[in-house]
Chains A and B, each alone.
Chain A
Amino acid sequence: MSLIETRGLTAFYGDFQALFGIDFAVEDGETVAIIGSNGAGKSTFLKTLSGLIATRAESVVFGGEAIGGMAASRIVGKGLALVPEGRRLFPSLSVEENLVIGGYSKRPGPWTLERIFKLFPILAERRSSPGTALSGGQQQMVAIGRALMSNPRLLLCDEISLGLAPVVIADIYAALPGIKAEGTSVVVVEQDIGQAMKVADRVYCFQEGRVSLSGRPGDLGRAEISAAYFGV
């Protein structure tokens, strides 16, 4: 059984339909990338999985349980964490407090404050600064660390390289093996196709709210990907 599986998942913003029947799955320990152009529905999909957007209960099955439309605050406790687009650190909390509040759901597991500081040593030095006083890359590290503090079985990362310099992106992706080593499955949403192909075991391409292509990076041709990406 897959760790998470969606069948015919749909999502709406009011009357506007954003997702049209997404079939998607992640196995235990797998890293999956979702690529697609702006407005393809990638972020909407992650938000729906984490409970921020309503959907039918049975359209999302996580660890054998139907969680579609469940309150976001309950889904974290089941082991599914989202690193939201734009990092969204809490400005009135320090770096350390931002990390600690990630563990609010008190889910047991390997990740502790010390482990996060080992993963991103720079954060230990800045632990008492306000979260929003950090550089973009460091803020992204806090956002990832904060999500890890809930000891997720599945970590969803929304556009973690957006607006960051290439050397900083490399730093952040360097943490991925350490996270996978704990048996955590990862889903990354990426606009950078090259980056996605490098880290992912499997890739999904979204286009206009539908899955236009999926498969292993090695099996997919360049022309096939750009057709699925741009819809030409």
Chain B
Amino acid sequence: MIGWIDTIIQGLLLGGLYALFAAGLSLTFGIMRLINIGHGDLIVLAGYLGIVATDALGLNPFWSLVFVVPAMAVLGYGLQRVVLNRTLGTDILPPLLVTFGLSIILQNLLMQLFSADSRGLNAGPFETASIALPGGLAVGVFPVLIFVTAIAVIGGLQLVFSRTSLGRAFRAASDDRVTAELMGIDNRHIYGLAMAIALAIVGIAGVYLAIRTSIDPTVGPSRLLYAFEAVIIGGLGSLWGTLAGGMILGLAQSIGFRLDPGWGILTGHMAFLAVLVFRPNGLFPKTRDR
């Protein structure tokens, strides 16, 4: 019994990491209807940036965030302005193909630079520290930190959306890009900022991922799939829905792993398919646009 409660807690906390993977994807979809196939590889890139920065600084890996997050934001803005803005339009092939190409290029460049060997970040005893709960349960400090970060990030995004001028511009550009231009909103710039925020979050997610497990250049695509599944399960366009979607995915995987170690990923995918079959608009839909 304790074992199952533990499994559920682990799964829900894992959802925090998936929500961090997914928040950027949810954001760029919501604002510009863009699905970035290279999203997972960018998470891995951020992980490697964290490794490089940590090696160079010789400090605790969490300090690398100070470098990785702004670097990813700048990369996001540049990528959107120079490449991705040119792909946006009514045809979905260009954004899909271009981000797919980006994914392949990133994977293979990382392979050339860092080889296929797995690498990770070592955050010392913090990684394995845990808090004892009543009933003989224990939760890891780091998983809790990841989860709290996810809540903070999504809460922060929600505040930006509802309270700031930038948030209004995001929503306006998402509703009607032509009329947004008439308000003086430069969509190309706004989209650049959206991608900058998305990749800043990817920066956090990548460093956390590298601390949590080891990474190699090929693990990006499955991270994209988890992120995508969290977004679809939660319902398109809803940020809190994305967090819930991440938690459901984490829970499904964690239950699967407990049943049979080979099945963890599979049960996650099956949960996604089940949502697709029974609730095609996700559990907490906001927009009906697919």
- A residues near B (Cβ < 8 Å) are 50-52, 71-74, 76-77, 81-82, 84, 88, 90-93, 97, 100-102, 104-105, 146, 150
Determine the chain A residues whose CB is within 8 A of the CB of B171 once the complex forms: 90, 92-93
Complex Cα gap A74–B169 (Å): 15
Complex Cα gap A97–B184 (Å): 15
Main secondary structure of the interface of B (DSSP, over half): helix
Determine the chain B residues whose CB is within 8 A of the CB of A50 once the complex forms: 182
Determine the chain A residues whose CB is within 8 A of the CB of B174 once the complex forms: 92
Interface residue? B168 (CB, 8 A): yes
Residues from 146 to 186 in B contacting A, C-beta threshold 8 Å: 165, 168-169, 171-172, 174-176, 178-186
* CB-defined A-B contacts under 8 Å, sample of 12: A51-B181, A72-B178, A73-B183, A73-B185, A76-B183, A77-B184, A93-B168, A93-B171, A93-B172, A101-B165, A150-B183, A150-B184
Given A93-B168, A97-B168: A104 and B175 within 8 A (CB)?
no
In the complex, what residue of chain B is closest to A143 when comparing beta carbons? B179
- B residues near A (Cβ < 8 Å) are 165, 168-169, 171-172, 174-176, 178-187
Closest 7 CB pairs of A and B: A105-B184, A76-B184, A72-B181, A88-B179, A90-B175, A73-B186, A104-B184
Q: Is there an interface contact between B184 and A73, defined as CB atoms closer than 8 Å? A: yes
Q: Is there an interface contact between A101 and B183, defined as CB atoms closer than 8 Å? A: yes
Determine the chain B residues whose CB is within 8 A of the CB of A82 once the complex forms: 182
Q: Is there an interface contact between A101 and B172, defined as CB atoms closer than 8 Å? A: yes
Q: Is there an interface contact between B168 and A52, defined as CB atoms closer than 8 Å? A: no
Q: Is there an interface contact between B168 and A100, defined as CB atoms closer than 8 Å? A: yes
Q: Is there an interface contact between A90 and B179, defined as CB atoms closer than 8 Å? A: yes
Determine the chain A residues whose CB is within 8 A of the CB of B172 once the complex forms: 90, 93, 101
Determine the chain A residues whose CB is within 8 A of the CB of B186 once the complex forms: 71, 73-74
Among candidates B165, B176, B187, residue contacting A104 with C-beta atoms closer than 8 Å: B165
Among candidates A51, A71, A105, residue contacting B183 with C-beta atoms closer than 8 Å: A105
